[in-house]
Amino acid sequence: MTEKNSGSKPPQRVTIRDVAEAAGVSVSTVSHVLNNYGDIGPATEKRVRQTMKALNYYPSAAARRLTRNRSHLLHFFLFAEEGLRHPFFYEVISGISKEAEREDYELILSVQKGTDGLKRWRRSLRRSIESRVEGLIITGSLPDSEVLEKIEASQIPAVFLDMPCQGPNCTYISADNVKGAELAVEH
């Protein structure tokens, strides 16, 4: 169960076992309630949900990723000196974030500036792989060809915005600047 923090160690999180014990049911029953299987009686389900609320219990996203083999995580890499201050990048990230949320995905954002170096970037990509992200979104100016090679080697599906790429897990999206200029002149 949750214990008060004495300052020496962080408080322990409430586990599914704690909920099961407090509700007087099995861990399997709590799991079935969490996953909305519909095979638990209404009174038991209500008791389990009330216990979860009383204990302030939230399921572990990491545990769910392991059991479901789905992370619902996307990692957005922005390679740009101006970072989020540039209105274009802000609008792109805002739009992607809204769509990700609509589809029940979380968006991890990494802003990589040229001065950050490859070491920081490699660490971010490693975390993406360890977290089992389901997709990478990359825009800006890649600092080095090694970055592109590492992305392709990760075998995580990647979408490049306004930068060509190659490889079986790679797609790119680009604006039609010529058509845009034609439309602007016609207007």
Q: Distance of CA 36 to CAs 10, 49, 67, 90, Å?
A: 31, 11, 16, 37
Please state the rounded mean pLDDT for residues 160-187: 74
Q: Which residue has the higher pLDDT, 166 or 152?
A: 152
CB 153 within 8 A of CB 136: no
Kindly report the pTM of this predicted structure: 0.65
Q: Which residues pair with 8 in a beta bridge?
A: none
Could you give all domains of the chain from N- to C-terminal order, each with its CATH number?
16-59 (1.10.260.40), 70-179 (3.40.50.2300)
Instruction: Using a pLDDT cut of 70, give the percent of the chain over it.
Output: 82
Rounded-to-integer distance, Cα 137 and Cα 93, Å: 10
* Alpha carbon of residue 131 to chain centroid: 8
Of 78, 76, 58, which is closest to residue 140 (Cα–Cα)?
78
pLDDT reading at 5 higher than 60: no
- The answer to whether 112 and 121 have CB atoms below 8 angstroms apart is yes
- What phi and psi values does residue 83 have, to the nearest 5 degrees? 55, -135
Q: Which two tokens stand for residue 95?
A: 């739009």
Q: For 85-107, how does the pLDDT look when each residue is reduced to its tens digit (9 = 90+)? A: 778 888 888 999 999 999 889 99
In whole angstroms, give the CA distance from residue 108 to residue 20.
Answer: 32
The pLDDT of 15-29, averaged and rounded, is: 94
Determine the average pLDDT of the residues in 126-140: 87
Question: Cα(115)–Cα(138) distance, rounded to whole angstroms?
Answer: 18
